[in-house]
Chain A
Amino acid sequence: MNAKTALPEIGVDAETQRRVEQFLYREARLLDNERWDDWLALMAEDIHYWMPTMENRRRADKNGSYAVDRGALYNDNLVDLTRRVTRFKQPTAWAEDPATRHAHVVAGIEVYQGEAPGEFIVHSTFVNYRSRVEKDNDLLVGRREDVLRADDDSFRLARRKIIITQSVLMAKNLNTFL
């Protein structure tokens, strides 16, 4: 697991907890509404946005079900994320037209103090439901581990690790962020 998980879990005050929750709820709404540029503006310059793929390995196998040097659906820095957004915005992004309808549901938000001052480790769970045209419906459920960094009166997302339950992605594509 990520080394950050091993940090002592030191809680934060209720106001910080509330502000982090608001940040994540707003982020989800920006994605639901395809406000890609506004979403990109939430990213720190050094963002690592990572969603490894899951391998089925026996428990005794020390390699684990995912690792940073193995498969990933996202292993992005800011340039990569910006490229993906560039595609979404093209009139020739055929698999986005008619528009896909998104619902990003975020829950179970836990906030702890991070390694550096002004950083917070944030755990959350998510449900993502996407519907396209008549009845293309795709459901993804998973867990996220974020590092948020204080930025003026809000935050920037500096790290995100996304763990989904599926090892075979039961969808033709993944045309959203999680």
Chain B
Amino acid sequence: MCTTQGATPIRLKRRPIAQSIENLDQLMNLEKGRMSRDLFWDQDIYEQELERIFARCWLFVAHESQIPKAGDYVTTYMGEDNVLIVRQKDGSVKGFLNTCPHRGNKVCFADLGNARQFVCNYHGWAFGIDGGLKGMHASETYEAAGMDKTEHGLHPVAHVDSYRGLIFATLDPEAPSLAEYLGDMRYYLDAIFDMDEGGTEFIGGCVKSVIQCNWKYASENFVGDILHAGWTHDSGAKAMVGGPVAEVHKTPEQSYHVNFNGHGWEFNQDIVGNCATLGEKELLKYLYVLQPKVAERLGELRSKMIGAISSCTLFPNTSFLPGQNTFRTWHPRGPGQIELHTWTFVNKKAPQEIKDKWRKGTMMTFSPSGVFEMDDGENWEYSTRSNAGFVTRQQDLYLGLGHDTRVEGTDLPGNVFQGQINEANQRAFYQRWLDLMKSESWKNVPQRDVPKMKEGV
């Protein structure tokens, strides 16, 4: 279990950006489905994103299964801030900026491991797994200077919390709770991360790569763009299943866009559509056997989502694909580059041979060498790079699909839209982006979406 770091003094200081960008409203007209390309190119917008999106939102930092024992750690990023995520002796999880408070050197150079302490290479400052400064090389010189070690531990992140095994952190002490931040999206997250008793785990480590694109192109693709699959991924589908991608635009009555607080999920109810692209019959059989049990556990609708044609982004930059079981974070690296970290998730109680098939299948399809992902990167790179042109940059983009598809009066949580070929989630993603970019603090962020789920559920 994770806990927020209530007892730890928050030492993060924040100097707000000198001048926030004016007229952000002019960047988009979502009613008309029009958007400016500045979002994907402008350096000032990017700097403001680092403050108002990445240093503010709850960001995915680790899966519980990656750090089961005290001292287990992973290093990752929150925006461009390198952080150390560490399991504590009491089972809780703490996060710290991975930088020594003495001269700023990076403290931990490993991607993951187990540690009793973290020692800075520069002057030997040694930190416990709780972040406290325990000692250093030539400690008597500091004692002579009257330095108080308790004031110089690693800088903690503001809050850490988890949902269904997914650990998130925020760098903003004023952030709402994780439950409030995820809101109604938790209802759908359960379909994947709580479909089976015991939940999920990450297996097989992390695959990392660099794409020269703006982070939002990747996030908005997974938030709602199944449309591209039928075209972009035709070659991958023919390689893996011997035919084209399913024509989901012909059956909108069976599929949805749902979104909440800028998070979005597009899905239909074909149970195994995504999973089928891995070309492993045993995996389909596993899901078909599991589906009635999920129906008992979570109801019919969610049981049909467990491996269906679908994709999800948790605002701002974490995405996953049910069925293909790839989980990924798009770390921003300036307006024109991302560092992509991907993992494979599986049900903890699945048989080992099923887990092995998923580990292999995920990487065969969705890794830099994967037959599907292969064609995504180039699209996003050139969607970004085209905007180098001064005049090109000033032309609008279109995201108007699915106006008037909102489903009113439904019991389903979140904002529900009929048909997974839609751009409702993309518009909601950019609306949330705009709301956060315009707000000086969490207090000013408008609460557009009314939750149907209770916060504590």
- Inter-chain CA distance A162–B277, complex, in Å, is 26
Chain B residues near A69 (CB-CB < 8 A): 204, 356, 359
Chain A residues near B232 (CB-CB < 8 A): 94
Report if B377 contacts A (CB, 8 A): yes
Count, chain B residues at interface, CB 8 A = 42
Q: Could you say which of A12-20, A70-78, A105-113 contacts chain B? A: A70-78
Binary interface encoding of chain A residues 93-117 relative to chain B, with 1 for a CB under 8 A from any of its CBs, else 0: 1110000000000000000000000
- Inter-chain CA distance A95–B356, complex, in Å, is 29
Report if B364 contacts A (CB, 8 A): yes
Report if A151 contacts B (CB, 8 A): no
Report if A90 contacts B (CB, 8 A): yes
Contact B205–A75 (Cβ < 8 Å)? no
- Inter-chain CA distance A167–B236, complex, in Å, is 25
- Inter-chain CA distance A71–B356, complex, in Å, is 11
Contact B279–A87 (Cβ < 8 Å)? no
Asked whether A86 and B239 contact (CB < 8 A) given A71-B205, A169-B368, the answer is: yes
Contact A168–B209 (Cβ < 8 Å)? yes
Contact B235–A87 (Cβ < 8 Å)? yes
Residue in chain A with minimal CB distance to B360? A75
Report if B407 contacts A (CB, 8 A): no
Which residues of B100-135 are within 8 A (CB) of A? 109-114
- Inter-chain CA distance A86–B242, complex, in Å, is 9
Asked whether A87 and B208 contact (CB < 8 A) given A55-B111, A58-B113, A75-B360, the answer is: no
Report if B373 contacts A (CB, 8 A): yes
Asked whether A72 and B363 contact (CB < 8 A) given A86-B239, A170-B210, the answer is: yes
Chain B residues near A174 (CB-CB < 8 A): 368-369, 374
Which residues of B192-217 are within 8 A (CB) of A? 204-213
**Shortest distance between the CB of A71 and any CB in chain B (Å):** 4
Asked whether A86 and B238 contact (CB < 8 A) given A53-B207, A75-B360, the answer is: yes
Contact B210–A172 (Cβ < 8 Å)? yes
Count, chain A residues at interface, CB 8 A = 36
Asked whether A172 and B234 contact (CB < 8 A) given A61-B113, A71-B206, A167-B208, the answer is: no
**Shortest distance between the CB of B44 and any CB in chain A (Å):** 26
Chain B residues near A154 (CB-CB < 8 A): none
Chain A residues near B111 (CB-CB < 8 A): 55-57, 167
Chain A residues near B363 (CB-CB < 8 A): 71-73, 75
Report if B367 contacts A (CB, 8 A): yes
- Inter-chain CA distance A70–B236, complex, in Å, is 23
**Shortest distance between the CB of B327 and any CB in chain A (Å):** 13
- Inter-chain CA distance A80–B357, complex, in Å, is 12
Partner of A172, one of B207, B211, B364: B211
Contact B378–A94 (Cβ < 8 Å)? yes
Chain A residues near B207 (CB-CB < 8 A): 53, 71, 73, 169
Contact A172–B212 (Cβ < 8 Å)? yes
Residue in chain B with minimal CB distance to A73? B369
- Inter-chain CA distance A84–B374, complex, in Å, is 11
Binary interface encoding of chain A residues 141-178 relative to chain B, with 1 for a CB under 8 A from any of its CBs, else 0: 00000000000000000000000000111111111000
Contact A84–B239 (Cβ < 8 Å)? yes
Residue in chain B with minimal CB distance to A67? B205
**Shortest distance between the CB of A87 and any CB in chain B (Å):** 4
Partner of B234, one of A56, A76, A90, A136: A90
Residue in chain A with minimal CB distance to B339? A168
Chain A residues near B208 (CB-CB < 8 A): 53, 167-169
Report if B381 contacts A (CB, 8 A): yes
Report if A33 contacts B (CB, 8 A): no
**Shortest distance between the CB of B255 and any CB in chain A (Å):** 23
Contact B374–A95 (Cβ < 8 Å)? yes
Report if B375 contacts A (CB, 8 A): yes
Contact B239–A168 (Cβ < 8 Å)? no
A-B contact pairs, 16 of them (CB 8 A): A55-B112, A57-B110, A57-B113, A71-B206, A72-B360, A83-B240, A87-B239, A93-B374, A95-B375, A95-B377, A95-B378, A136-B381, A169-B207, A169-B208, A170-B209, A172-B209
Instruction: Give the interface of B toward A (CB within 8 A).
Output: 109-114, 204-213, 231-232, 234-236, 238-240, 279, 339, 356, 359-360, 363-364, 367-369, 371, 373-375, 377-379, 381
Q: Which 3 A-B pairs have the closest CB atoms?
A: A172-B377, A90-B235, A87-B239
